[in-house]
Structure 1
Amino acid sequence: MNRRLARIRAVQALYQVEMTGTEWKQALQASMEDEEEADDYLFDVIPGVLGTLLEIDEQIARQLEHWALERVGNVDRAVMRLAVYEMQYCDDIPVNVALNEAINTAKAFGGDEAGKFVNGVLSNLRNARELGAKNEYDSKDH
């Protein structure tokens, strides 16, 4: 399974967990096609997102302008949760790759407007993280 398809399956599973309360492995199995096999990526990111959900949601909520996280569509929320997890906890995935894949996934599920919304929120988050890292670096004695 390629990584793009794995991200789609992860978003579907995260969505199903949120909507039905299904255990994540059952949700993942339900999202898979008959011949597909889950790879290690899925067994890392899905429980990883769920295990850091409060932290991830707080970070997303801080970037929303005039919106509450609860008002964000469930699919867009699942896409952004996965992307934030990748951006922060997956050292092998460059931040810009996580961002671009999230935009493409949002477009696939919700069209161009969803892609623009996800882009705006995640770009703000990336920029805030980069600014925070720069400020931390600048404040250290060199």
Structure 2
Amino acid sequence: MNRHTAREKAFQILFQLDINDNEPQEAIAAFLETEESNIFLKGLVEGVTNVKDEIDTIITNNLENWSLDRIAAVEKTILRIATYEIRYMEDIPRNVSINEAVELGNVYGDDKSGKFINGVLSRIEK
């Protein structure tokens, strides 16, 4: 599984975790069923889950005329993943994290999601 696919699956798992109160390992296993897990996927899901409050604070501090509560679940989940990558995963270039997040937003969000995600993430520093 490449990193792009792992991000997409991590998004889907984290989206479910935001709605259901499961443990990350259980959610990964249930989502993947017979498919083998990936260390990058597991790292994203567990990492975002472990520092979610810190990530939400970072996102909140970089919003203009928005509150975290007003952001749709799709965009919020994507922002959490990308913020985690930017702040906690030094081996991933910032522009890669932003581009991947915008792409996920364009696929799973509405027609303005990619632009919104790009705007928020461009204000977040490493």
- TM-score in same-fold range (> 0.5): yes
1:14 counterpart residue number = 14
Q: What does 1:94-109 align with in structure 2 at a 5 Å threshold?
A: 94-109=93-108
In the alignment of these two chains, the number of paired residues is 126
- Distance in 1 separating the partners of 2:29 and 2:9: 9
Identity over aligned residues, as a percent? 40
Over alpha carbons, which structure has the higher Rg? 1
1:135 counterpart residue number = none
Runs of 4+ in 1 over 6 A off after TM superposition: none
Which structure 2 segments of 5+ residues have no match? none
Shift of residue 112, structure 1, vs aligned partner = 3.0
Relative to its length, the structure with more helix (as a share) is 1
TM-score normalised by structure 1 residue count: 0.82
- Distance in 1 separating the partners of 2:38 and 2:68: 30
1:58 counterpart residue number = 57
Shift of residue 73, structure 1, vs aligned partner = 0.7
Alignment RMSD, CA only? 1.5
- Distance in 2 separating the partners of 1:19 and 1:75: 11
- Distance in 1 separating the partners of 2:22 and 2:34: 22
- 2:28–2:42 Cα contact (<8 Å) kept: no
**Residue 113 (structure 1) aligned with residue 112 (structure 2):** yes
Judging changes above 3 Å, is the alpha-carbon distance between structure 1 residues 21 and 99 closer, same or farther for their aligned structure 2 residues?
A: same
- 1:13–1:28 Cα contact (<8 Å) kept: yes
**Residue 2 (structure 1) aligned with residue 2 (structure 2):** yes
**Residue type of the alignment partner of 1:115:** G
Which structure 1 segments of 5+ residues have no match? 131-142
